Structure formats: C-alpha cells, structure tokens
Chains A and B, each alone.
Chain A
Amino acid sequence: MSAYIVRRLLYALPILVGVNLITFALFFFVNSPDDMARMQLGAKRVTPEAIEKWKAERGYDLPLLWNDAASGVRKFTQTIFVQKSLRMFVFDFGYSEDKRNIAVEIRERMGPSLALQVPVFIVGLAVCITFALLLAFFRATYFDFWGVVLCVVMMSISMLFYIIGGQYVVSKVWHLVPISGFQGGLDAARFLVLPIVIGVVAGIGVSSRLYRTVFLEEIGKEYVRTARAKGLSEGLVLFRHVLRNALIPILTGVVAAIPFLFLGSLLSESFFGIPGLGSFTIEAIQSQDFAVVRSMVFIGAVLYIVALIATDISYTIADPRVRLQ
C-alpha cells in the first residue's frame, strides 16, 4: 500500500501544476495586473505612477508566462507564473495583495469552519444513515413512502430558505439562540447549534435517499438472507452486515466531502456570522487578490487529492478484498 500511496502522491504533482496553471490562466484572463493594482489602490486619485509602483513591489511588473527580455532559463523563471507558483509547493503562501500573511489568515479561519462543518458532517452522516436504514427496514410501508416523500420535499428546498427560515423561527420568534455571531471556547456552542441543526436537516433529503437506495440493493443479497436465517435480529443484520457492505459507495461520497470541512460553507458562514474560510476565496475573487485565490485553490486541490487517497485507503478497511497496488 505504501508504494501505491507514494505513486499517488507523485501523480499529484502534475495535477497541482495543472490546477495552478488553469487558475492562473482563468484569473488573468479576467483581470490584468493593472486591474489588480487599481482594485487594491482604490477608486479615487490613483495615478499611473502609483499603479506601476504597486506592480513592481509585488512582482506583477513581470510578463505573465514568458519573459522575452530575460535570457536562458530566466525567460521562463522571471515570469509572474513561476515567481508566484513555486513557493506554494512548499506551502509558503506568502502575503495577500493587501500584505496579510495568508497562512496566518487560513489558520485563524479554519478553526471556526471546522467547528461548524465537523458536527454537521458527523451528526449528518449518523442521522442520514440511521434514517435510510429505517426506511430500508420499513420498506414498502407507509413509513417508507412518506419518508421518501419527506426526503424529496427536503431536497427541493434551497439551503437559503432553511437558513432564513431557521433564523426567523428559532432566533427571531422564539428567541432561543443568537441570530448570528461567534465566540471562541465553549461559548461557541450557542452560536453553532442552529447552523449545525440547519446543516444536518438540509442534508437529510439528498443523503438519505441515496443511502436508502444503496441499502435496498444490499438488503436483497444472499448474505443478508443467511444472516437472518442464522437468527440474527433485524437491527444487527442492518447495522452490522448491510451497513458494512454498503459502505463502499457511501465512503466514495463521504470522504470526498472532507475538504469542505476545512474550506467551510459560504452561505452558512455568511448568514450566521461565522468567521470561517467559507467566504475567503469569494472575497478574494471579488477584490482581485490573486495571492489568496491561488493559495485557496491550491489548498483545495491538495485536500481533494488527499481525500481521494484516503477514500481508496478506506475501501481496504471497509472491504478486506480490496487491495491497493
């Protein structure tokens, strides 16, 4: 397995270079270094000299991808692309265009994002799996029928509606928790309880339906009949045998969702005032902060690669027949 992991990590390098190149191309297709300077310097009293100074200070006075004025390998290295990209491969993200340390920003903002997303992820997973197993257990009954109807209704409602509705009812009408805000330590619980409940409820529809389908497929297999024939209770059959064998398709979706735990949720964090990473990238795109955009895309890509490797490893744990070669 070690050889497999090393190989996958080596494959990751060209992927990261490619992601970086695409991010670079997309960003500079829309914005020029001059535009970035103007955005950072503000709309009033910006002189051409100030723009040149800003660009020179941050290295945006270089050509984008090819430097005709340089010689030899410097034609390639003395460009914005190389100068801005190389350091990221040693996780040196440098400074945002308004001169803030990006690594410090990410560290500070990752905590609140994890505090929100991890409970949503774990509780959501537990609730959805349990609900889906119940639907599978009561298959072809009224409980199953109305459960599926409920799932369809829940998945049809926009996340925004859950948030605004939840804030209105729970915080504004019932006055049970703060509408928005965040505090560190144990006090964070008061602020997180509503967004967590909303995050879990909003995810029940889609996930439960998917899991129900997976469980129904498994429940008809022969090993389940054998388990029942052995006299195992239905609960044991479902939670010990069906669940374990249905894990592979569940893990595929679940482990790949782990990067979102770190990268945060844009909507929830914005509406609940949680100072996480959810809006960091969007704000950077809006303010044409290439340093932050490329760093966040890079981190996202790394997390996805790690999550996909973790998915493969988790297959071997869930199903001993799977071998990574």
Chain B
Amino acid sequence: MRLFLILAGSVLIAGCGEIWNDPYPVAEQGKNILYSVFSERPKHLDPAQSYASDEATFTRQVYEPPLQYHYLKRPYQLIPLTAAEIPQPRFVEKGGATYSVYDVRIRPGTRYQPHPGFVEANLKLDRDTVAKLKNPYELPLGARELKADDYIYQIKRLAHPHLHSPIFGLMAEYIVGLKEYAETLKKAAKPGEWLDLRKHDLEGVQRVDDYTYRVTLKGRYPQFVYWLAMPFFASMPWEADRFFAQPGMTEKNFTLDWWPVGTGPFMLSENDPNARMVLSRNPNFRGEAYPSEGAPGDAERGLLADAGKTMPFLDKAVYTREKEAIPLWNKFLQGYYDVGGIVSDSFDQAIRFSADGEPGLTPEMQARGIQLDTSIGPTIFYVGANMLDPVIGHAGGERARKLRQALSIAIDWEEFLSVFRNGRGVAAYGPVPPGIFGFREDKDAINPVTHEWKGAKAQRRSIETARKLLAEAGYPEGRDAKTGQPLVLYLDTTQRGPEDKSMMDWWRKQFAKLSVQFEPRQTDWNRFQEKLRKGSAQLFIVGWSADYPDPENFMFLLYGPQGRAKTQGENAANYTSPEFDALFEKMRVMQNSPERQALIDRLTEIYRRDAPWLGGFHPKNFALFHSWLGNAKANEMSDNKLKYLKVDPVKREALRREWNRPVVWPVVLILVLIALSIVPAYRNFRRRERMPARAAA
C-alpha cells in the first residue's frame, strides 16, 4: 500500500511540474504552441464534402484553394493564395450561349506536406501491413510539387459517385459537363476498386500546362471566384486518393475524409476527434509573407507589426475537445486556452457595457490583460412568413402585406438581442448584413417601414403605427373586421425545452402588443424541416450564414425559383415577386459598382415593402484573447487564420504560474480532520471490542 502511494504520488508530481493543474504534458511547457478548443466532433475533413465551420478550423489550415480573403482588410477582399493572380473571366459566345472561361494560374514551387501516398511503395500495401498500422504517418513519407492536375482532380471529385459534395448540385449547373461527368463516373465505378479520375476527362475543366488549368462555366457567374477561395476547390493529389483506397484502410478509419493532405502551412499530425486534434507546421510549406496593409486602426492595434515576416509563426496548434462551457471558460481564465469565446453564463463576468452601449471588458478581465474583439458575422436569423399561407402570404394580397408590416414593427428585435443574447447582435434592416457590399450605413441603412431616424440613431416605429397598419389590414384590435374572430398566428419552432419558455413568453408579448393571438407550434427538427419543405408552416425562425461576402448570397434567399416548397431551394419563405426576380437576375451577374448598388437598394426596398421576413438580426461575435496571443483579429470569412497568429510562450508560462499556484493547505487540513476523526472512532471500536458481555434485559 505504502509503495502504491509513493508510486502514485511520484506519478502525480512528475506529471504536474510546478503547476499542478496544467492539462498539457510537461514537455510542451514553453513551446511555441497555440492552445484552442473544439466542441463538436468534425464529420468530414475531405474538402469535397466538408462544409461546416467547425470542420473548417482544421481543413482550412491544411488545404489550399487558389484564392483566400485578405486577413486584415475590410470589406472582405479576395487575394491569391496558391494562384498567381485572381483569375478574370473571358466570355465566349458559342451556339447562341455565353460561357465564362477562367484560366487559373498557380505559382510554381508549392510543395505538399510529407505524406505516405507520395512514396510509390506505399501505394501497393497489403491488408496485413495496413492492419498493423496505428497511424498512416508510420510509413515512409514523401512529397512532391503542386501541379494544376491536382486542382482538376479535386473538381472531378465533386462528382465522385461515393462522395456527397454539398455543392455538386450547384456546380453542375455551371461547370460544363459536370452533371454528365457524374453519370460517367457512376458507370465506371466498380465496388471495392479505386476509381482513377485521371482516366476520365471533364469537359469544363482542362489542363493548360503544368501550372494552369481552365474552368469553363455556362453563362456568367461572377461569384465563382469566391468558390475558388473555399476548400471544395483546393488541390488533391491523386496519390493520396489512391493511398487511402487500398484494402484495409477504411476498416482502420484511414480515409481521406479523416486524414487531410494539403499544401497549407499546417498538417494534421494527431487525429483524435474525441479528445484532441493537433496541427503541426508543414515542413515543406513555401512560406508566405504577413500582410503589410490592413484596415484603419490595425496599425495602432499592432496588427501590422509583423508586416512582411514569413508565416506561419506557430510550430503547433493543439485543439482540445470541450463539450461543456463551464470547464472551457475556467480553463481559458487559467490561461490554458489562448482564445476563448463568450457564452451567456460567463457574459456578465467578462463584458460590461458603457453608457453609450459599447461593450468592454470587466476590470477582472482587464487585470488579466485579456483582449476583446467583436465582429458582426455575415449571417442572418429571421422570422420568415410563409408566402403560401392564405392568411399571411401572397394570397392575402395587400391585406396580408400590411399585416406583415405591422408585425415587423411589433417584433422588437433590439429588445430580443438585449434580453436573450446580451446585446450580441444588431437588428437586420434588410437581407444584406453590415460589411457586405450593398449594405448602407447609418441613416440609409434603416428600414423605413419599421424604423425612423431620430436623434442620429435608428428608432423602432411606435406600436400605434403597427396598430394602424393592422387596422388597415382588416384586423382592428387583432380581430377580423368582417367576422369578429380573433386573429391567431402560428410560429413553428424547434425550441421546446423548459429553458425556452421565457423566449416563447417573449414572443407572445410581441404579438399581444397588437392584440394578436400567438400560438407556438413546438416541434422537432425533422418535422420542422418537413413543414418548410411542404410549405405548411405559417411563421418560422431560420438562419443563413454566407458562403461568400457577396449580396447575391443573401438576396437569393428571396429569389422565386429558389422557393423551398416548389424546388427545395433556399427561399424558405416561398416569396415570389416578378420584379424582385428580374432585378436579382441582373444584379447577380454584375461586378460591384454604383449600378449594382442601385439595384441592391431597389431589391432591399421591395423586400421592405413586401416584408416576407418579419425582421431578424445579424449576430455579433465576441472573441477573447490572452495578452500573449498576437495578430488576432476576427475574420468571419476566412478560417485559414492560424498562420497569422503568434504566441509569446515565455509570457504565457509566467502568467500561468502566477495564476495557478497550487493551494495545498485545505487538502492537508481535510486529511488532518479525517485522521482526527478516525482516532476517536477507532478508540470507540476497540472499547466496544473489549467490552464484556452484557446481561440480557
């Protein structure tokens, strides 16, 4: 027993170093490593399939598409990544149709990370050899230069019969021959055999030379360049595909969906999605210069101090899975995570609003040197009105339009944000969020139907205005003027837990302002989606996060042919307006210009007049950084930000030691108390043992 205690004690002390609660190995202390978290286990790390933002945390550091977003400049701006320049389309007329031709030229000299797929012998492994592997990187590693063929291979993979690329449907509409290519591959695929895509040509994607490939699109699609900044269009070496297609690989979970292979600054060196993921510096990375220009104020914040220096700055990034918010927050405060988000539970501890409503850090956070950065995401959450509904939709005509306008005024989104999101968001005046081309600032931004400009700020119109509109709609005091029946409106929602009661009460209060009866129809996610697909919901709350920073990516949510009930598109409100659709079709193929802005203004005006959404909000993200983290700036469009970040490990180590000194005396006290309580108990025990037998009563 004594030996066990000594051994256990030694293990604990040896494992702890001077700080006992350090969750990382002692060997990592003082190293140039960034520590962060992930909460959801990623589903896909294959760039053809991955679409979720939590997956992008890993894929975007490994895979490199031809383009990227400027890290510092706002509004978001595309710049080359592996490409030599931003490809400009040539328009070709052929057979009465217009085609856009993009020649993407990549810079020579880019090399892949070390990978077993680049060693020829590793492409002929037998099942037994694979079965013995614990990690594919145990095999000899090789590398090679990036070629245009690798980008072509990846575009072909979007149509692979065994992959489910979320953008295949969209790209098949544009990339010449992609739809037919999927059929070709379907016929060519044989069960259990690797499908070599190099043997099958894709008409719309052709190799020009070693470093150039050509993509031909049907029609004009200026947004295509934004897709070239997403991992769907990253390079994929055929060798990696071949390597993971060998027998026995899938059984070991060695798949391309799990082990990314790229040219980026980092490579996934440890892959345990249940506990931790580690990105290590790619030794073959070509190096990239830190930006030397930024947005106004960036230089003052020290964000240009590393201008021109070679990235990446970190050797490693360790992501630990934290499912619960409380341990995550506490570990951030202890200095064990360099970056932290804010959840509602810890909001008051971290953030304090000034008199003019500006968020700032509490003195406790300031004392720790923590920095705050906020940004409005290219996202919108809105209450949609189903335009197929007879009461509130198109069939209701002018009456329904006024009803929707009245409700848009009554639903106080500013109050919603204050009550339920600690002010983390801004009310939406139109579909386009701030920071995206087409968004108007200040007075021009407001929705005149719901707001007015008073005292240099937007103010929601009075409830009397809403009541007046409601009366004009034929529902004075919330009752149908003809039948006298109360107006009942139904909100479909997936919020049905006890914790959502307060939110439902708030919704009821909004409708009660107009004396309209409110009925929440709380349902599960599947049924909710089914109602949207069938167009049987009346009011509903949904959200949209942009794929790229272009107004088209928001306005298309109101485009008639995208109607959810008819075409399973993204227009969940099933809104149709010939005028809107015609203007949208014009706007979407234009480059940003005053003419395009004028069209967006008009589209916004139509949206505000018709009110197919009863308002909504754009979430504001609050990010916290420790003082030892450098070059941190919120960037909602690009997830490849790891290469820009740097840490000061010496400062981090010193502060961790200061903040985490072990407090041993309470444990000693508890042990002493236990020992003291054992003594009388033992004495009592002994006394009773020695007690002579007592006579029976």
Contact = CB atoms under 8 A, between A and B. Distances in A.
Interface of A: 30-32, 35, 38-42, 44-50, 53-54, 57, 95, 98-101, 104-105, 108-109, 112, 134, 137-138, 143, 164, 167-168, 171-183, 186-187, 189-191, 193, 233-235, 270-273, 275, 279, 283, 287
Nearest to B661: A175
B136 to A, nearest CB: 14
B127 interface: no
B489 to A, nearest CB: 25
A134 B51 CA distance: 60
A57 B663 contact: no
B8 interface: yes
A50 B158 CA distance: 12
Given A44-B51, A45-B167, A112-B275, 16 more contacts: A48-B568, A50-B166, A98-B43, A101-B253, A167-B327, A172-B330, A174-B662, A175-B663, A176-B662, A177-B21, A179-B330, A180-B322, A181-B23, A234-B689, A235-B685, A270-B324
Given A176-B20, A273-B321, A283-B41, A183 B164 contact: no
A189 B8 contact: yes
Interface of B: 8, 11-12, 15-16, 19-25, 41, 43-44, 51-52, 161-162, 164, 166-170, 250-253, 255, 257-258, 272, 274-275, 320-324, 326-327, 330-331, 334, 336, 524-526, 529-530, 547, 568, 570, 660-664, 666-667, 681, 684-685, 688-689
A46 B322 CA distance: 29
A273 B526 contact: no
Contacts of B664: 174, 176
Contacts of A273: 275, 320-323, 327
B320 A181 contact: yes
B169 A45 contact: yes
Given A179-B334, A180-B23, A190 B327 contact: no
B330 A171 contact: yes
B21 A138 contact: no
Given A180-B322, A275-B275, A283-B41, A174 B667 contact: yes
B326 to A, nearest CB: 6
Contacts of A105: 253
A30 B524 contact: yes
A176 B663 contact: yes
Nearest to A229: B693
B51 A108 contact: no
A318 B639 CA distance: 62
Contact of A190 (B15, B274, B334, B547): B15
Contacts of B19: 175
B166 A42 contact: yes
Nearest to B526: A35
Nearest to B544: A44
Contacts of A175: 19-21, 334, 660-663
A189 B334 contact: no
A181 B258 CA distance: 22
Contacts of B161: 53
Nearest to A171: B21
A173 B250 contact: no
Nearest to B257: A99
Contacts, number: 160
Contacts of A57: 162
A100 B252 CA distance: 9
Given A44-B51, A187-B15, A275-B274, A138 B23 contact: no
Nearest to A283: B41
Contacts of B660: 175
Contacts of A275: 272, 274-275, 321
B552 to A, nearest CB: 14
Nearest to B327: A180
Interface centre among A38, A42, A176, A273 (most CB of B within 10 A): A273
A235 B661 CA distance: 43
B331 A179 contact: yes
B323 A32 contact: no
A177 B15 CA distance: 10
Nearest to B186: A53
Interface centre among B324, B525, B689 (most CB of A within 10 A): B324
A171 B659 CA distance: 12
B274 A180 contact: no
Top 7 A-B residue pairs of the complex, sorted by shortest distance between their CB atoms? A275-B274, A181-B23, A178-B23, A275-B275, A47-B169, A180-B327, A35-B526
A143 B678 CA distance: 12
30 contacts: A38-B529, A40-B164, A45-B51, A45-B166, A45-B169, A48-B568, A50-B166, A50-B169, A54-B164, A98-B257, A101-B251, A101-B253, A105-B253, A134-B681, A143-B681, A143-B684, A172-B330, A174-B666, A174-B667, A176-B20, A176-B21, A178-B22, A178-B336, A179-B330, A181-B24, A182-B275, A183-B25, A190-B15, A273-B321, A273-B327
A180 to B, nearest CB: 4
A200 B52 CA distance: 39
Given A44-B51, A167-B326, A270-B323, A50 B164 contact: yes
A233 B690 CA distance: 9
B524 A189 contact: no
A134 B678 CA distance: 12
B170 A101 contact: no
Contacts of A48: 568
Contact of B689 (A181, A183, A233, A287): A233
B40 to A, nearest CB: 9
A325 B688 CA distance: 44
Contacts of B21: 171, 175-179
Interface centre among B161, B164, B334 (most CB of A within 10 A): B164
Nearest to A43: B529
Interface centre among A98, A108, A179 (most CB of B within 10 A): A179
Given A175-B661, A179-B23, A190 B12 contact: yes
B15 A271 contact: no
A31 B526 contact: yes
A169 B412 CA distance: 42
Contacts of A101: 250-253
Nearest to B169: A47
B195 to A, nearest CB: 14
Contacts of A283: 41
A30 B526 contact: yes
Contacts of A100: 253, 258
A253 B258 CA distance: 41
A287 B40 CA distance: 11
Contacts of B547: 44
Contact of B330 (A35, A49, A167, A235): A167
Nearest to B272: A275
Contacts of A138: 684
Contacts of B168: 50
Interface centre among A32, A53, A134, A181 (most CB of B within 10 A): A181
